[in-house]
A and B are shown apart, each in its own frame.
Chain A
Amino acid sequence: MENSKPKLNLAVYWAAACGGCCVSVLDVHEKLFDVVAAANLVFWPIALDVKYSDVEAMPDGFIDVTLFNGAVRNTENEHMARLLRKKSKVLVAYGSCAHLGGIPGLANLSTREEIFKRVYDECESTVNPDQLRPLTVSSVGEGSLTLPEFYNDVRSLGQVTAVDYYLPGCPPQTERLLEVFMAIVSGASLPPAGSVIGASGKAQCDECTRLKSENKQISRFLRPYEIYDDGITCFLEQGVICLGPATRAGCGVRCVKGNAPCRGCYGPLEDVKDPGSRMMSAISSVIDAREAEEIEKIVENLVDPAGTFYRFSIPSAMIRRKVL
């Protein structure tokens, strides 16, 4: 392939993440050849053995594009977020965790102490008779050893440092990543900083092909396993909570096409301040009851509103953690 342009320097980093975002980058499959033809991969912990000190040694702005996935939950995540900001021309919050806080953000419903207690004392598979806990600094014969400090609050990347673009999804659709990447390579004019890219401005329902009627009424909230899904009718009309109405489109309605309701990983629509409250507003207005007791009974069925409506977005919500 003929290429007269200088190659871009590309970095991919994971903070508090599951690794799925990095795998979604690998999912470009044979298009990886196009990517490496246009870019040098200078830092990518899941695939390359490049050390943090190598990144620190890079001149500022050396990396053209960094795809940062994962939330910020400890000092190591925060250090790398700030470091990569300094070293990158374009910093992309890649995936739900970097975008909104994501699944790790659900930890904001607990405190650090509660989490440690569960993990190191109570968990059924934990054997810890000496009640050992990880220490940020411990002294050994050879000197002192350190571990990153675990924060009480999980934050999104944008809450820690300036972010140029947000590419939503859990994980983002690989096709969207390729489109964005190719746009950067081709030198096409990019949207203003702070934009959400690789997603549509419309809601999931606009792209969903399931049959929807005007008359949505829910008299009991059901879990997906409680219905015989006909594969055709709107999930909400079958009584299953689907976050489609309040979620940005762009994934190609993947979950619904796989017969699972939307969980909201693409985040809120443009200009929506609080991600879950829009969905709470929409869902409660279709409850099929007018008496307080009846409504209360139906709502009782909805076991975990915070985890359902803010599954990927607690750190970015107006109430970003449980009261301490």
Chain B
Amino acid sequence: MDYKPKIIAFLCNWCSYTGADLAGTSRMKYKPNVRAIRLMCSGRVEPAFVIDAFRKGADGVLICGCHPGDCHYHEGNYKCLRRYHLLKKYIHQMGIETARLKLEWISASEGKQYSELVNSFTETITELGPCKIKETMDVLT
């Protein structure tokens, strides 16, 4: 059977979700593996959200926010960027490949970039194969 990776995307309301929406309304075709979750700001993405996604079986997590300087709340995307770097280090320690977590800036006009990002990220995750964290957590050894 073909492996179909599960990817969770946290998209900020003001730029990235609108960008993803633009990809849709412009009828761009892209891979169907991403489940988008809309948040008010990428700064709202708590590390626990990402950890929970992996724990529950996500093979990859994508976080998208406004470009630096464009945050609707001024600072949110910078906070997200800092958390992202620390979180990457933590998941690496727990044995999750860091390539499974990605942060990209997508503006409201970047529908094309969003669809390309989804395609390339899906490809990366397909190459990596299923994430083993859920399997490890579900069995007591």
A323 — which chain B residues lie within 8 A by C-beta? 94-96, 132-133, 136
Contact B83 A285 (CB under 8 A): yes
Interface string of B40-55 (1 = CB under 8 A from A): 0000001110011011
A151 at the interface (CB under 8 A from B): yes
A320 to B133 CA separation, bound complex (whole angstroms): 10
Contact A319 B51 (CB under 8 A): yes
Q: List 6 A-B contacts (CB under 8 A).
A: A109-B93, A277-B46, A277-B48, A285-B79, A306-B90, A323-B132
Contact B141 A324 (CB under 8 A): yes
A273 to B90 CA separation, bound complex (whole angstroms): 17
Smallest CB–CB gap between A110 and chain B, Å? 11
How many interface residues does A have (CB within 8 Å)?
Answer: 35
Interface string of A284-324 (1 = CB under 8 A from B): 11010110100110010010111001000000011111111
A152 at the interface (CB under 8 A from B): yes
**Closest 7 interchain pairs by CB?**
A323-B95, A152-B141, A277-B47, A284-B82, A277-B48, A306-B93, A305-B90
Interface residue ranges, A against B (CB under 8 Å): 109, 151-153, 155, 273-274, 276-278, 280-281, 283-285, 287, 289-290, 292, 295-296, 299, 302, 304-306, 309, 317-324
Of B68, B81, B86, B137, the residue contacting A319 (CB under 8 A) is B137
Residue of B at shortest CB range from A314?
B94
Residue of A at shortest CB range from B141?
A152
B85 at the interface (CB under 8 A from A): yes
Interface residue ranges, B against A (CB under 8 Å): 46-48, 51-52, 54-55, 68, 78-79, 81-83, 85-87, 89-91, 93-96, 132-133, 136-137, 140-141
Contact A281 B83 (CB under 8 A): yes
Contact A295 B46 (CB under 8 A): no
Contact A274 B48 (CB under 8 A): yes
Contact A318 B51 (CB under 8 A): yes
Q: Contacts A305-B90, A324-B132; is A278 near B48 (CB within 8 Å)?
A: yes
Of A151, A273, A292, A299, the residue contacting B89 (CB under 8 A) is A299
Contact B89 A302 (CB under 8 A): yes
A290 — which chain B residues lie within 8 A by C-beta? 68, 78, 81
Residue of A at shortest CB range from B93?
A306
B46 — which chain A residues lie within 8 A by C-beta? 277-278, 281
A109 to B94 CA separation, bound complex (whole angstroms): 7
A281 to B48 CA separation, bound complex (whole angstroms): 9
Smallest CB–CB gap between B46 and chain A, Å? 5
Contact A324 B136 (CB under 8 A): yes
Contact A319 B54 (CB under 8 A): yes
Of A153, A284, A321, the residue contacting B79 (CB under 8 A) is A284
Contact A320 B137 (CB under 8 A): yes
B132 — which chain A residues lie within 8 A by C-beta? 323-324
Among A276, A306, A318: residue with most chain B CB under 10 A: A318
Smallest CB–CB gap between A159 and chain B, Å? 9
Q: Contacts A290-B78, A292-B81, A323-B94; is A318 near B52 (CB within 8 Å)?
A: yes
Of A152, A305, A319, the residue contacting B133 (CB under 8 A) is A319
Residue of B at shortest CB range from A285?
B79
